[in-house]
């Protein structure tokens, strides 16, 4: 069928083709079918969207990925990508071969899958899981797509937390300590998937996080490290597409998690990595057994990729730090580097930094580096190199002006602080998209309190979002208070 192209912008990264229903019926094209477009410079494939209004009969609308297609074109039906068959296999809980996973990764990278098909892939992995062999092959395939960083240093340090713990922003503190000790640590981080703030979201409060590879190399040459968004430099770009599909469902299945983390680390040129695996009630991993299994799988996949991986299994029942949300976590980070801040965040950062230093063969004390002010000085240099204000202090960071404090309606003992509920509340308040939204936690488990004591404060940037968070807070109990007698029974 001969049609005239017209460019349309409907805010999608998918190569959509808009056909008037008259032309679509004549062609026999249904929604989400593929069409082959022959144009002067070659051929392209698009995913069909039928419409009565956006394009007229005789025209074909092409979205941004296909804007290079112009003029009169020949449109014919095309078959679905081969990877769709493999997604169906995974939905049927059939283990996939390396070549099949490579095909899925390639088709995701080349935008050949519709949003529905990508969601089906994510759902299949969530429902049926990935075997260790599948995880190895998937990680290798994902790290083989996109750009790669390389460094002169034979030891390149890195760290990642699997998340699920409110306020667990130890990474900036660790980077400051480890780079001050002389190691190279070019930290590429993701934005939030299921949490109210990823490391990239937190750092964006303080400085720029999107850079080219050349700019990252310059920053690392100057400071030994960086704290940047990995998606900005096309490192394992398929991971970013998969995360986009996972986000609405707030899912992060173990096999895909390992592939996500280690493909990014391999692409970033990391050689020695510490993985933080928090476990406990309300954390992403709830049992010690599951945490150990995940740690073993991380190490096995790391060995397959020839990357030295060490895992720290940490308690994830209680939040780390006081703030939950980008600006509030950035405030906690600066406070710790300034010599104050939440003790829980300080202690965990020191423990993991010491572990990473030892893992990399460096004889240095994280505590000495922090208390001497070297870590703060190095962090300020990194902020400056990334376009931020190196003189910024923790007191300069203000949370959202719309706020309400939830108070105890009884006296007693705090028996539980629920990470998952606090994260849900922070997200409902607007985090991470609203950087100053989030939660300030006033109590920790085992605290003895009286009626009227503050439990937590919700911050939002708009009254509407504060109201939404308050409504959710009415249905939740993120900080549980029980009488002393009931608390004793609960502990038993």
What average pLDDT does the chain have?
Answer: 93
Answer whether 35's CB lies under 8 Å from 16's CB: no
Give the start-to-end residue ranges of the domains of the chain.
2-78, 82-129, 157-235+245-395, 402-491
Task: Give the active site residue among 158, 239, 252, 297.
Answer: 252
The pLDDT confidence band at residue 318, using thresholds 50, 70 and 90, is confident
Asked which of 13-27, 275-289, 322-336, 399-413 is least confident by mean pLDDT, the reply is 275-289
Which pLDDT score is estimated for 490?
63
- How far is it, in rounded angstroms, from Cα 7 to Cα 9? 7
Give the CATH number of domain 82-129; options: 1.20.970.10, 1.10.150.120, 3.40.50.10140, 1.10.3720.10.
1.20.970.10
- How far is it, in rounded angstroms, from Cα 237 to Cα 230? 9
Query: What is the 3-state secondary structure of 425-462?
Result: HHHHCCCCCCCCCEEEECCCCCCEECCCCEEEEEEECC
Residue of 120, 112, 131, 244 lying closest to 191 (CA atoms):
244
Q: Which CATH class is domain 2-78?
A: mainly beta
Q: What percent of the chain has pLDDT over 70?
A: 98
- How far is it, in rounded angstroms, from Cα 19 to Cα 209? 39
Per-residue model confidence as pLDDT tens digits over 202-239? 999 999 999 999 999 999 999 999 999 877 788 888 98
This prediction has a pTM of 0.86
Per-residue model confidence as pLDDT tens digits over 415-453? 999 988 999 999 999 999 999 999 999 999 999 999 999
In this structure, CATH architecture of domain 402-491: Alpha-Beta Complex (3.90)
Answer whether 231's CB lies under 8 Å from 186's CB: no
Answer whether 212's CB lies under 8 Å from 173's CB: no
- How far is it, in rounded angstroms, from Cα 311 to Cα 298? 8
Per-residue model confidence as pLDDT tens digits over 12-43? 878 999 999 999 999 999 998 999 999 998 99
CATH number of 157-235+245-395: 3.40.1030.10
Residue 158 annotated to the active site: no
Asked which of 51-55, 128-132, 224-228, 472-476 is least confident by mean pLDDT, the reply is 51-55
Residue of 60, 63, 62, 67 lying closest to 4 (CA atoms):
60
């Amino acid at each position: 069928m001969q049609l005239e192209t017209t460019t349309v912008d409907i805010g999608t990264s998918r190569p959509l083709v808009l056909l008037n229903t008259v032309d679509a019926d004549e062609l026999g094209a249904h929604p989400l079918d593929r069409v082959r477009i022959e144009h002067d410079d070659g051929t392209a494939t698009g995913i069909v969207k039928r419409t009565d209004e956006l394009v007229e009969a005789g025209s074909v609308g092409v979205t941004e990925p296909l804007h290079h297609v112009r003029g009169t074109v020949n449109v014919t039906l095309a078959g679905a990508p081969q990877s769709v068959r493999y997604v169906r296999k995974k939905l049927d809980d059939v283990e996939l071969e390396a070549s099949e996973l490579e095909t899925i990764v390639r088709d995701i990278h080349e935008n050949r899958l519709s949003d529905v098909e990508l969601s089906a892939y994510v759902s299949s992995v969530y429902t049926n899981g990935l075997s260790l062999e599948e995880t190895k092959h998937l990680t290798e395939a994902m790290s083989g797509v996109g750009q790669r960083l390389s460094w002169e240093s034979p030891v390149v340090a890195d760290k990642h937390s699997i998340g699920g713990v409110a306020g667990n922003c130890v990474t900036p503190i660790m980077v400051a300590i480890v780079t001050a000790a002389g190691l190279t640590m070019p930290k590429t981080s993701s934005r939030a998937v299921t949490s109210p703030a990823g490391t990239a979201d937190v750092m964006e409060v303080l400085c720029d996080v999107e850079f080219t590879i050349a700019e990252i190399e310059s920053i690392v040459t100057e400071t030994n490290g960086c704290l940047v968004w990995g998606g900005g430099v096309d490192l394992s770009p398929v991971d970013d597409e998969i995360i986009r599909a996972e986000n609405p469902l707030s899912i992060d299945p173990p096999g895909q998690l390992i592939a996500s983390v280690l493909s990014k680390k391999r692409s970033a040129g990391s050689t020695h990595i510490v993985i933080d695996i928090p476990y406990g009630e309300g954390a992403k991993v709830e049992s010690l057994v599951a945490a150990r299994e995940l740690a073993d799988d991380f190490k096995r996949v790391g060995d397959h990729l020839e990357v030295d991986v060490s895992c720290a299994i940490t308690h994830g029942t209680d939040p780390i730090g006081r703030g939950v949300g980008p600006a509030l976590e950035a405030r906690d980070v600066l406070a710790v580097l300034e010599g104050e801040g939440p003790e829980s965040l300080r202690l965990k950062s020191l423990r993991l930094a010491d572990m990473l230093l030892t893992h990399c063969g460096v004889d240095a004390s994280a505590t000495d580096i922090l208390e001497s002010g070297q870590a703060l000085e190095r962090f300020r240099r990194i902020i400056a190199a990334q376009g931020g204000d190196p003189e910024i202090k923790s007191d300069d960071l203000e949370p959202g002006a719309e706020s309400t404090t939830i108070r105890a309606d009884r006296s007693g003992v705090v028996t539980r602080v629920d990470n998952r509920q606090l994260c849900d509340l922070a997200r409902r308040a607007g985090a991470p998209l609203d950087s100053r939204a989030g939660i300030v936690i006033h109590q920790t488990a085992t605290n003895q309190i009286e009626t009227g004591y503050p439990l937590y404060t919700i911050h939002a940037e708009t009254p509407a979002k504060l109201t939404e968070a308050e409504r959710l807070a009415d249905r939740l109990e993120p900080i549980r208070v029980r009488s002393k007698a009931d608390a004793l029974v609960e502990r038993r």
